[in-house]
Structure 1
Amino acid sequence: MLPLLTRGIAAGGLGGLLSGLFSLLLAGPVLDRAIRLEEEHGAEHAGAAQAHAHAAEEVFGRGTQHVGLVVTAVVMGLALGVFFGIVHAVLYRVPDPAADWQRAVTLAAAGFVALSLLPGLRYPARPPGVGDGDTVEERQLAWVAAMVIGVLGTALAWHLYRRLADRLQPVRQFAVAGTLVATLAALFLLPGNPDPVEVPAELLWDFRLLSLTGHGLLWAGLAVAFWLFSRAAATATAAATTTAGTPGVTAPAPAETVGH
């Protein structure tokens, strides 16, 4: 399992870096606009004196926040890489280099659905710093609950798809779709967001779309990198096996001296 875990961590780090750079270049400007609007909204309600105090309390500048955005994405990718490597080792016990690509893509797609798409449909992303700070813990707990439900629902869909291997493909696909729809319905039984997001709807949905795209890039980068690492490992193993199995070249025996 250790090689798969190491492979997953490295692939997750690369996927996180890809997602972080995307967020920095495209989502960063949207994030800055949302934060400025939130600060202006706070200044209107709190007064100029409190707004000045809030600005004085700001510890990190925009540049530091942007770097933190990339670092956060890389750390998230590393954590997901650990999860990816463990699940890959549990599900695919028998190595099969010919199936490495299909396995990596399938598992990454399942991870995206379970940990990004389904929770994101219930609790769409909001720009950091937007919303009531007193509800942060409540929102985090709700997000964790959504991820747990998403993982359980996706795992059940996966199990049904493999369990119905002797059935027609449409039957298996409808079983998966029905399970995911039921999972989404269960997610909407969770409490809603405790506070409204007071930013323009267009700006908010731009951020949400970019955030979901960033998640997709993370999982896609993880899958591709994991496959490339798996392919390199399989090639190295095959080369080592071929070299070990090649018989050594025997030196020719010395010619006999013919007496005269």
Structure 2
Amino acid sequence: MVGKLLVRGMLAGIAAGLLTFGFARVVGEPQVEQAISFEEKAAVASGDAHEHDELVSRGTQAGLGLLTGVVTYGAAFGGLFSLVFAYAYGRAGTLSARALSAWLALGAFIAVVIVPNIKYPANPPSVGDPETIGARTGLFFLMIAVSLTAMVFSLKVRRREVMKLGAWNGSIVAGVVFIVIIGAVQLSMPTINEVPGGFPAVLLWKFRVAAIGMQVIMWTTIGLLFGAMVERSRLLDAGGRAAAKSVYL
């Protein structure tokens, strides 16, 4: 049963990747092209311009490369999403498959996308020092790990507080705990600001909106499509729910 859920999660992720690719081509790639053009013009103005051979052409990067990247990302996270769903189903009260899938997708979007991007937002190609890319990437993934850990902890707090204060107040307490933890961690982590002084603010804003938009499409599609696929397949009846639990007990 878990294997069938995994397949459906990956299929939902592939579909999400295809939709995300379409959005990225139409909305995201024009911002990338403008950023590259800005970088080239700045290099010419400073006298640092020089010709170099591209290992991968821009056409390939914006076409097949982008398609491969987002579809692989979608399939991988769709598979992981299905495993989390299999663990959570039956443990999250009386939520239906669709409702649980939607809530899990929202939680993943907050923890994996919103929280790390508040501290370390996406930058176009011409922004950032190549020598610091390793440090920036490490900090970004560290922020994701902290965010996921804080969310799991806050859910445990919610479970305990619901018994004392009720569902509504318990949820508020858990939300406050999550925000306090994330706020404290983000204030303690180093800030990285490598945006050139002359870089167009509107272009930077549009690029970051496009980057968030891609993630909105990705996680919305996974959450809604996976839930619909599971519910229609009738994999999770009373017996299926017990089977999902037994895998992890």
CA distance in 1 between counterparts of 2:129 and 2:235 reads 53
Q: Note the C-alpha offset of 1:93.
A: 4.7
Structure 1: gaps (5+ residues): 239-260
The residue correspondences of 1:101-112 to structure 2 (distance < 5 A) are 101-112=98-109
Query: In 2 relative to 1, CA 11–93 (structure 1 residues): closer, same or farther, beyond 3 Å?
Result: same
Q: CA contact under 8 A between 2:38 and 2:126: conserved in structure 1? A: no
What is the identity percentage for the equivalent residue pairs of Structure 1 and Structure 2?
Answer: 26
Q: CA contact under 8 A between 1:149 and 1:187: conserved in structure 2? A: no
CA distance in 2 between counterparts of 1:160 and 1:206 reads 37
Equivalent of residue 181 in structure 1, options 179, 182, 193? 179
TM-score, normalising length from structure 1? Answer: 0.81
Report SS of the residue matched to 2:111: helix
Q: Which amino acid aligns with 1:192?
A: T
The residue correspondences of 1:1-260 to structure 2 (distance < 5 A) are 1-47=2-48, 51-53=49-51, 56-67=52-63, 68-93=65-90, 99-166=96-163, 167-185=165-183, 186-193=185-192, 195-197=194-196, 199-234=199-234
CA distance in 2 between counterparts of 1:103 and 1:214 reads 22
Query: In 2 relative to 1, CA 153–15 (structure 1 residues): closer, same or farther, beyond 3 Å?
Result: same
Can you list the C-alpha shifts for 1:154-201, whole angstroms capped at 9, x where unaligned? 112222223333323441232132123123311232112163345211
Q: CA contact under 8 A between 1:135 and 1:195: conserved in structure 2? A: no
Q: Note the C-alpha offset of 1:236.
A: 11
Structure 2: gaps (5+ residues): 239-249
Q: Which of 106-115 and 205-214 deviates more? A: 205-214
Q: CA contact under 8 A between 1:126 and 1:197: conserved in structure 2? A: no
CA distance in 1 between counterparts of 2:193 and 2:236 reads 53
Number of matched pairs: 233
Q: Note the C-alpha offset of 1:43.
A: 2.8
Q: Which amino acid aligns with 1:57?
A: D
CA distance in 2 between counterparts of 1:144 and 1:182 reads 20
Query: In 2 relative to 1, CA 16–45 (structure 1 residues): closer, same or farther, beyond 3 Å?
Result: same
Report SS of the residue matched to 1:231: helix
Can you list the C-alpha shifts for 1:2-24, whole angstroms capped at 9, x where unaligned? 12211111111211221221111
TM-score, normalising length from structure 2? Answer: 0.84
Report SS of the residue matched to 1:35: helix
CA distance in 2 between counterparts of 1:159 and 1:18 reads 34
